[in-house]
Chain A
Amino acid sequence: MSPRISPHGECPSSGQWNDLLAHRYEADRDQPEGWGWALAHMEQCASCRKTAVGLDPTLLFRRLTAPAPALEPAAEVAAMQQAVAAMRRADRVERTEQRSHGGMWTSGGRWVAAAAVALSTLSLGASLWNDGLWQKGPGGEGSLAAGLGAVPSSLDLVLDAVGEMPAIESFGTPQSASDEGPMIWESEGMPAFEPFGIPESASVEGPMIWESEVATLIMLPGSEELQGV
């Protein structure tokens, strides 16, 4: 026998159920008084449940509960704690790896490299432009093809601009733009230059400076005053 939990000792009639359920399909209608009691009663009274579900079949789904879990609740919790901890560890490791590999070829490094390439390209283009290659090329139209066509003659153009063929820059001379190394004049005893192919060059002890030959090896054009050194 189904329990009767109505405060009045009776189940609601079909008409009463109809009134109780009406609010479920009218969006602007509030829950009727006694709705909470009616729901609780329905869960325990098979007869009322049948009536109510007949009027509103969606009440069928109120019985839905999750199936019994494969694990005991305590085991479910323990498994969840371990799984979440594992996710956090994996996330920490991933972040650490991202930081440790944050070198040249990470996204930031790639941007720097790309910027360097772009800058050098622009610089090259600017120097070609300043040298007038676009205008002075064989085509003379300033087109890219014309510019590229001018490239074989660019060395001549550069030389024209400089004026004369530069000699290999000497070092250690007053005219030298290079100031590295001590100036060695004649045989001051220091091996300023060790010529290859000379048998004595293998010896650390031997004479390393060959009487003025060093100075004449590398000469600026027109520096005749050094010729006699």
Chain B
Amino acid sequence: MTGPQLAYSASRHREALADGTDKELLVAVRDGDEMALDELIRRKTNPLLQTTYRILGDMEEARDVVQVTFFRVWENRDKFDERWSPNTWIYRIASNLAIDQLRSRRSRERSQEPVRLHLRQVFGNRERRDTARLQEEEVMGIFRELSADLTDKQKAVFVLRELEGLSSQEVAGIVGCRESTVRNHLFNARKVLRRELVSRYPEYAPEGYAPEDRGSDADSTPDTKEAS
């Protein structure tokens, strides 16, 4: 009768984990509970894939990064402090891995020119260039191209703050810097992206748009303001 009892017990345990908070899960993981790790993977895989994909622009690379993220969580489980936010801890691991991946990739590929040419051809066939109708994948291609001009931290901050909608405080915790630094990274990232978008894809800037019309344009804030 031991077998069925064990199975019942495992089933109850799995249900209990499913009802637990992220913090409770991580505490269980810290105690070596493998079922808790599985539950954590169940909860966080898709959100982490979204975030790392936005940073990396490649789903296979994003999968690799998320996989290693969970492995690192397990490897370093005894270091988890209950006072920490679980999301901050996990996203910090993931974003650091994604940044590392970006750096190693940057050494492999230096130019996104082929993407730009392809997109030009696609858009060139359109009579009206309504940005609202752009396919998201096409916009993603543009973002991937333009964000190559950002620093890795700028890119991570932009994705986490602008696309994921996290607060500056959360992003600061994930990236490991002060909120003011996050704002500076974000500010500079927007500035670079806007400048490059208008320069390389002027079709996205409607007639009459003139960056110099805005008193707070890039020219008024030198790059030296950027926090490292």
How many residues does chain A have at the interface if contact means C-beta atoms less than 8 Å apart? 36
Known: A25-B217, A84-B70, A88-B74. A66 touches B132 (CB 8 A): no
* Most B C-beta atoms less than 10 A away, residue of A26, A54, A64, A70: A64
| Inter-chain contacts of B214 with A (CB < 8 A) | 18, 22, 25
Of A4-12, A72-80, A115-123, A194-202, the one contacting chain B is A72-80
How far does the alpha carbon of A87 sit from the alpha carbon of B72 in the complex, in Å?
A: 10
Contact status of A46 and B132, CB under 8 A, knowing A61-B143, A62-B162, A70-B59 = yes
Decide if B38 touches A87 in the complex (CB within 8 Å).
Answer: no
Interface residue from A57, A67, A73 paired with B204 (Cβ < 8 Å): A57
Q: Is the CB–CB distance between B49 and A66 below 8 Å?
A: yes
Cross-chain contact of B54 among A46, A66, A69, A91 (Cβ < 8 A): A66
Complex: chain B residue closest to A39, CB-CB: B165
Residues of B within 8 A of A22 (CB): 214, 216
A57 and B197 in contact (CB under 8 A), knowing A22-B216, A66-B49, A77-B46? yes
Which A79-98 residues have a C-beta within 8 angstroms of B? 80-81, 83-84, 87-88, 91
Chain B 29-66 residues near chain A, CB threshold 8 A = 37-38, 41-42, 45-46, 49-50, 53-54, 59, 62-63, 66
- Contact mask B186-228 → A, CB, 8 Å, 1/0? 0100110110011000001110110000101110010001000
**Does B136 count as interface, using CB distance less than 8 angstroms?**
yes
A94 to B67, CA, bound (A): 18
Distance of A80 Cα from B64 Cα, bound (Å): 9
CB neighbours (8 Å) of B184 from chain A are 27
Q: Which residues of B lie under 8 Å from residue A53 when comparing CB positions?
A: 131-132, 204
A122-177 contacts to B, CB under 8 A, are: none
**How many pairs of residues, A versus B, come closer than 8 Å at their CB atoms?**
119
Chain B 57-115 residues near chain A, CB threshold 8 A: 59, 62-63, 66-68, 70-71, 74-75
CB of B127 closer than 8 Å to a CB of A:
no
Contact: A61 with B163, CB < 8 Å? yes
Main secondary structure of the interface of A (DSSP, over half): helix
Complex Cα–Cα for A65 and B164 (A): 9
| Inter-chain contact B131/A50, CB cutoff 8 Å | yes
CA distance in complex: A91, B70 (Å): 14
Contacts of A28 in B (CB 8 A): 183
Q: How many angstroms between the C-alpha atoms of A56 and B211 in the bound complex?
A: 9
Is B136 a contact partner of A54 (Cβ separation < 8 A)?
Answer: no
Q: Which residues of chain A are near B131, meaning CB under 8 Å? A: 50, 53, 60
The answer to whether A69 and B49 touch (CB under 8 A), given A25-B191, A64-B139, is yes
* B39: min CB distance to chain A, Å: 10
Taking A55-B209, A66-B53, A69-B59 as contacts, is the C-beta distance between A76 and B45 under 8 angstroms? yes
Min CB distance B226 to A, Å, is 10
Let me know if B177 is at the binding interface, CB within 8 A: no
Is A65 within 8 A of B136, CB to CB? yes
Residue from A24, A55, A80 in contact with B190 in the complex, judged by beta carbons closer than 8 Å: A24
Contacting residues, chain A, for B218 (C-beta < 8 A): 25
Determine if A84 and B225 form an interchain contact, defined as CB atoms under 8 angstroms apart.
no
Q: How far is the CA of A83 from the CA of B74 in the complex (A)?
A: 13
Listed A/B pairs (21) with beta-carbon separation below 8 Å: A18-B214, A24-B187, A25-B190, A25-B221, A27-B225, A57-B205, A61-B143, A61-B162, A61-B193, A64-B54, A64-B140, A64-B143, A69-B59, A73-B45, A73-B46, A76-B45, A80-B63, A83-B67, A84-B70, A87-B67, A91-B71
Task: Other than A24-B187, A66-B54, give 14 A-B pairs with Cβ distance below 8 A.
Answer: A25-B221, A50-B206, A57-B204, A57-B205, A62-B163, A64-B139, A64-B140, A69-B59, A73-B46, A77-B41, A80-B41, A80-B67, A81-B38, A88-B74
**What is B's interface to A at a CB cutoff of 8 Å?**
37-38, 41-42, 45-46, 49-50, 53-54, 59, 62-63, 66-68, 70-71, 74-75, 130-132, 134, 136-137, 139-140, 142-143, 162-163, 183-184, 187, 190-191, 193-194, 197-198, 204-206, 208-209, 214, 216-218, 221, 225
